[in-house]
Amino acid sequence: MIPVNTMEMLMEFPSLIVQDLNNFHYDGYISICKQMYRFEIKVPASRRLSEASVNCDWRLHKLIKDFKTVIAQRLRQCENIVSFVKELQMIAERQLEDENKDTPESSKFCQQLISHIESLGWERLVFIDQSFTELHVQYMDSGNREHIMKLFIGNQYPADTPKCSVELPTKFDLHWTTQSELRDAYKQFTAAVDSYKEFWDVMSEIDTNTWVLEPEKPTYSARHRRIAISASVSVQLTVDPTHPRALPECKFLGSDQAIAPVRRSMNTNIHLWDERKGLLENLQTLLDVKFPSPTNSRKEEFSVECGICYAYRMESEIPDEVCNDTRCGQAFHKTCVIEWLRALPSSRQSFNTIFGNCPYCEKAMTVKMIVK
């Protein structure tokens, strides 16, 4: 481990002067609430930050003396000297502000929160902001996936329920009582994460073995996958997170003629679905297709660009309006083809449908204007 990025150190703490060629030893001043305090940090030859020695003047020592365990913990976890000194500075600033304000309430808040972080375990905390109001805690599930819960702590903590943000496929409500603390929130979060293990296993099987056209970067909350079947046909799956091995909702995209055979196979084979088998294996049996995968094809073969704007992705839209003539089968963005057809005097509109001609082959084409 390289203990310091010297440029960053210089920018953040210009008054800490490097004392050796290895950049292991710094001595000088750090600013806390615009006052300068003497500070020294020395990392031993082992390069381990956790073994570093820290010296500071008595005023700074007085400010941080109640936070010795926290500081020792941060020394073990921080990536480098800069981030450690920043955290120490943050703790001291917070403490000094409290002293200056002489508001015991705010200090009590801080003390209590820190003791709750301690009982949660500092190693689970991956981020905390300077005002101690936003915390990110981490959980690695048994599939080695990293999950983060963001907690927003109000100044009435723990009386008020913290707000939280998580990435789960269903809604997550934190159950909070006056007795609750951070570790209770964490327990609920990890239990929820564990309950979706099978769902994420199924989704990652799809993601590694097929070409996912949508979403571009699936999140843990995404239940949809649009996967390529051929250059002009794809299927959008909606997987039930509580029954991920059940037959997902399937919506086929492509021209009517092109998707007719897969629809037919699905209707014929629907009784063959077997929840003991994998979702992809089941789908391939049902649709009587073999999904193109990264091992036998390139993604560009399936992300066919729009015949009007020549791009594939347009904001969140991809070309899914396809000419119904199989010899043409050109795909367009809905927005592009609607704009095109509306500009032509030969097109006509009835309610939400536009009747016109394909910009490519001039065969009749109808486009529904309902925006998804």
Give yes or no for residue 336 binding Zn ion (CB under 5 A): yes
Q: Is 333 in the site for Zn ion (CB under 5 A)?
A: yes
C-alpha–C-alpha distance, residues 255 and 320, integer Å: 9
Cα 279 to Cα 143, 194, 229, 273, 289: the distances in Å are 18, 20, 15, 9, 13
Vertex 266 angle, CA 265 and 270, to 5°: 120
Work out how close the CB of 356 gets to Zn ion at its nearest, in angstroms, rounded to a whole number. Answer: 11
Nearer Cβ to Zn ion (1/311): 311
361: contact with Zn ion by CB under 5 A: yes
- Does 164 interact with Zn ion (rule: CB under 5 A)? no
Smallest separation (angstroms) from Zn ion to the CB of 360: 4
Cβ nearer to Zn ion, comparing 90 with 361: 361
Provide, rounded to whole angstroms, the least separation between the CB of residue 326 and Zn ion: 9
What ranges make up the beta strands (E) of the chain? 16-18, 25-32, 35-42, 53-56, 125-128, 134-140, 146-152, 163-165, 212-214, 224-228, 234-238, 249-253, 321-322, 331-332, 348-350, 353-357, 364-368
Q: Minimum distance between the CB of residue 362 and Zn ion, rounded to whole angstroms?
A: 7
Q: Quick one: which segment of 14-22, 43-51, 246-254, 352-360 binds Zn ion (CB under 5 A)?
A: 352-360
Strand partners for 134: 152
With contacts defined by CB under 5 A, name the span among 13-21, 237-245, 260-268, 304-312 that binds Zn ion: 304-312
In angstroms, what is the minimal distance from the CB of 368 to Zn ion? 17
Residue in 4, 331, 341, 358 binding Zn ion, rule: CB under 5 A = 358
Q: Residues 200-229 vs Zn ion: string with x where CB under 5 A?
A: ------------------------------
Q: Which one-letter amino acid corresponds to residue 166? A: V
Q: Does 360 bind Zn ion (CB under 5 A)?
A: yes
For Zn ion, which residue of 9, 32, 193, 328 counts as binding (CB under 5 A)? 328
> In the numeric block, which tokens belong to residue 229?
């079947």
CB of 344: closest distance to Zn ion in angstroms?
A: 14
Q: Which of 305-310's residues contact partners 24+ apart within 8 Å by CB, and which partners?
A: 305/331, 306/331, 306/332, 306/333, 306/336, 307/331, 307/332, 307/359, 307/360, 308/332, 308/333, 308/336, 308/337, 308/340, 308/359, 309/333, 309/336
Q: CB under 5 A: which stretch of 44-52, 207-215, 262-270, 321-329 binds Zn ion? A: 321-329
**Terminal-to-terminal C-alpha distance of the chain:** 50
309 touches Zn ion (CB under 5 A):
yes
Q: Which residues form the interface with Zn ion (CB under 5 A)?
A: 306, 308-309, 323, 325, 328, 333, 336, 358, 360-361
